[in-house]
Chains A and B, each alone.
Chain A
Amino acid sequence: MLTFTLRRLLLAIPTLLFISLVIFLLVDLAPGSPMSEIPLTVPPEVRQKMIEAMGADQPVLVRYVLWLRQFFWVEPATLIDGWFGTSLAGGEQRILSWQTRSPVFTMIGQRIPQTITVVGTAYLLGVMIALPIGIYSAYRQYSLFDQAGTLFAMIGFSVPTFFTGTLLIIVFSVWLGWFPTKYDTTLSVTDWNSFVQQIRQMALPVLTLALANAAAISRYMRSSMLDNMGQDYVRTARAKGMSERTVVLKHVLRNSLIPVVTVIALGIPAIFGGAIITENLFGVNGIGAALILAIHANDLPTVQTLAFIFAVLIVVFNLIADILYGLLDPRIRYD
């Protein structure tokens, strides 16, 4: 298991390097040098430091390494300094946003809790809806319930989240007035009332994302259950006289969950990407909204950093999924 994990970890490094190179080159090769686009409002000495930190007059490869250094050494070091009061970073130039002229990572640190609250709840809810649907659809294959589930999944696949989101807004906030249209980021939960308010404003974005995810996951759950239902060990369990409940929920479900758990882990980065739309639609002040804001403001460092963070999320969760699969299914480890 250790070698398996190590091998996967080592494989993730070139992938990350490749992605960082793509993102770096994309912004670097874009028309106009990024250096010439530093807004004039940035004070000249900060501008000089930024140029030096990114090595604007160096060859491409050197600039790339310098960018990596800022991302992988200076930023984590600053974070550790903040926690333990050390001085690892030594006051080196951090990645600055051109919009706010503050470090990009500070902004991300402030925004990421919003994203995680909404996206995390949505994903949990989605999984909780999807698993029972998938299990029962498979158990009663071709029943009315199964067909309804198939239709639900097909619609969930096909209707884009920005449309379900707007529909939900129109129905539940404009017509019925049950929920607010916009997410109020400044709300802090202190008592019962503000808690209820938080739930109410989270309802629509969470529902939008949860429905989209539930569709896909319920399909995986169903097909995985179907694969296992016909296995010999299921017949054995029935022959032993186990109750139907035990057979389905213990024997079949446990084995069927193995691939589904992987799919769930693999879906997490995608949902962060998908949350860009939902965050913009509902005005959640998370990192997805920050990306769009930065793009419209031509704030290249923020764009570069956020895009790379999305990439890191994908690689990390791919890794987690791989390791989970190896952990749950011993056959995978000896590939």
Chain B
Amino acid sequence: MTHFLIARLLRGVITVLVAVTATFLILRVMPGDPTTMMLDNRVPEEIRQQLLKDFGLDKDLFTQYLIFLKQLFLGFDLGTSFVQRVPVMDVILSRLPWTLVLMSVSMLITALIGIPLGVIAAYRKGSFLDQAINALSILGIALFIPWLGIILLYFLGLKIPWFPIGGAVTVGLEGWDYIWDATKHLVLPVVSLTIVHLASYVLYMRASTIDVLNEEYIRTARAKGLKERVVLWRHAVRNSLLSTVTMMGLQLGAIVGGAILTETVFAYPGLGRLIYEAVKEHDYPILQGTFLILAVTVVVVNILTDIVYSYLDPKITNS
């Protein structure tokens, strides 16, 4: 088990390094530079050059990269935002909690709905129920988040005013009022993320449960006279969950992509929107910081997935 963990961690560190380097390079290859948005076009060229120098962008790529790595690994410093003039860590920490709440709640709800639906569809394979579940969840994949978001806001925010229109919390609330208000703001973004991501859970779970149900040991379990409920939810689901758990880990990247659109349409102050804004402003330190956090998160989640996996199926650790 220890050997397995060390190998996984090492691979994780390399992945993060590659991701960080790629981000660093892509940003600098992107056309334009941060002065475009920061300076008025009446600014004389010398002022622009001075600003590039202040940001260290006048040095060659390799020197910039060495400085960046040194700052990151020796000082644990993500730098200062070009535009906002605030340490990147502060900016990220002010946005991260919102994204974490949004992501974890929507992933949890999606799993809680998607997994049972997938199992039921698999068990009733070919039935009307199965087809209905399939059709509805595929419809979800097909929806474009900004469109879905506006529809939800229009009907459940404006026409039937149950939920607020955008934002994370109403200004000036405290205590329980704050929590209740923040929860109300969370509902529609979570609903739209859930609708869009539900299908992959349902379809994965359905496919792997169908496979598992054809396995010999299920027949054995049935032959032993176990109740159908026990066969399905104890024996079959435990095994079919394996591939779904892997999928959940791998999907994290896609979910972040969805978060950019969701946070924009719902005016939600998370990391997705921070990325969107920073790309427009060419705020390299912010982008380097957020992508580092994302890379670390994806790697950590995948390691955790592997650990859960090895718990669900002890054979994994040995291979």
Task: Answer yes or no: are A and B bound together in one complex.
Answer: no
Enumerate chain A interface residues (CB-CB to B < 8 A). none
